[in-house]
Chain A
Amino acid sequence: MSENVNDPLRVFWSSAVLAKRALFAWLNPAMWIMQLFGMSLFQIAFFVYVAKFVNNSEVTMEYVAIGNALQSLAYVSVFAVCNITGEEKNQGTIENLLVSPANRFSVFVGRAMFQIVNGLATVTIAFMYAALIFNVDFSQANYLGLASVILVTTFAMTGFGLMLSSLGLFLRTSMIIANIFLFIGLLLCGVNFPVSYLPTYLQPLSYAIPMTYGTEAARMAVEGASLGELSGLLGAEALVGFTVMIAGYLMFRWFEHLARSKGTLDRF
């Protein structure tokens, strides 16, 4: 038993399996499928019709459809992952989890694993909507490049979600942070308009979020850019994703320390 607890890979795997089981213990699979197919459709539709109405030559319907198809990932990688700590609090399991000697990184990255799979499925469906319903032209697309963009963005944004999740240890709820960052991404990450439209002082903030690189790379991949041309953006995105994940882990330990010392761990 103690051997298992000390093995980070074992902890990671059991945490991932438990997270999936816990999700479907309360969520009807039919509801999950409805969410998988419904969320991105209406988000893309909203901004596509806004773009059609506004008629800005730089922000075409294709531009916003691709941006929102990739950004639909945020519902999973930001919202669901950010709520991991909050849900542990709600279920009354956070204390048990934190008194165990298991590696924290393995536990919480394991918790997010199912959401990575969920995120990949969500974005794939969203790109299908972009092609089939919103008439985005994929005739020149580099599918391998696009798949790489989706994969790297999913991992990087899950790291970002985990970083936000660490705040949930100290705050009464992580859901508010999750809600804020779910929508802030639409404004900051070049999803609906070029980052250059933003005031200069906000642009560095855009490039601290992995999604910004992802939306730019996805548009290039749809236009047919090669993997070599995408490598710069993908490398930068992976680096930012890795950095926020490490920052998230350090924040997690810090907030755990704060929550223990102030006795706020089970406050929600």
Chain B
Amino acid sequence: MPRLRATVSSFRHQAAMFWAEPQWIIPNVIAPFVLAMVVLMIYREPSPEAVLYAVLGGGMMGMWGNTLYASGFSIQSDRWWGTVDAIFAAPSPLIWIIGGRTIWNAFVGIVNGLFVLVAAMIIFQTPLEIADFPLFILAFVLTLLSLAALGMLFSAAFVLTRSAQVLTNGLEFPIYVGTGSMFPIFLLPYWTHPLSYSLAPTWGIDAIRYAALSDYAQGFSAGYWGDLLYMMILAVFYLTVSIWLYKAVDHRARKTANLMRY
């Protein structure tokens, strides 16, 4: 229970930090929104299906942007504020504290994703005609959870480096490309496909498209439920590795005593 209490406190603290400076949501919304707009402009006169295809990709990118920046800055901000050693010295394991932050960021990620969806729909005057709404919501939420698990994995690695900000900036486009957020991954070179399949959001965006587009022909042979299954297996794998990694990182940080360096 004390661990859960640490998670709840961390969640509340992250929410308070967000409301203290809510402007940080702007870049996380702007980037995927602009990228979705660029893709739609390349179509020039997009069909309603093309709009929905691009906008769904934009929604996923919005969630990823938020997760990535939140995990990248999760510890980096503590370094700047001089609070990172206090967090490590607390009796609660680091992962429970980061877990609370991640859950809050996942909430904000939903808002991000939905904002991109709705704004693009309004601008391109295309009604949001989702083929199967309950399945769409299920895929949307599970994709967000898988992104959060991926974010946990990255944030564990970011604890050890002073260059988390650089890595955060550098990981945005590789995931957009690797997951096929705006195009089918079969267009990518064949040798990159295993990398794409190892990313849970690749399966997530495919499941979202299966649920949203009535005549989605470019999907994986696994189908909607197969996509969800693979995505959840990968998310559990990320979470398991991140739990182990947080323990290793905690041990190393105490040993090298250079956590505060930035």
Contacts and interface: CB of A to CB of B under 8 A. Distances in A.
Given A49-B177, A179-B30, A198 B41 contact: yes
A184 B42 contact: no
B177 A46 contact: yes
Interface residues of A, number: 42
A66 to B, nearest CB: 15
Interface in B175-202: 176-177, 182-184, 187-188
A82 B27 CA distance: 14
A59 B26 contact: no
Range of interface residues on B (Cβ < 8 Å) = 35 or more
Contacts of B37: 187
Contacts of A192: 38, 41-42
Most buried by B among A47, A172, A184, A197: A47
Contacts of A197: 41, 44
A186 B30 CA distance: 12
A121 B42 CA distance: 28
A176 B188 contact: no
Interface of B: 21, 23-24, 26-27, 30-31, 34-35, 37-39, 41-44, 50, 80, 161-163, 166-167, 169-170, 173-174, 176-177, 182-184, 187-188, 262
Given A42-B176, A79-B169, 20 more contacts: A26-B162, A31-B163, A31-B167, A39-B173, A46-B176, A46-B177, A46-B182, A50-B39, A53-B184, A53-B187, A54-B39, A54-B43, A56-B43, A56-B44, A179-B27, A179-B30, A180-B26, A182-B31, A192-B38, A193-B41
11 contacts: A27-B163, A28-B162, A31-B161, A35-B169, A43-B173, A56-B43, A79-B169, A172-B23, A179-B30, A182-B31, A186-B35
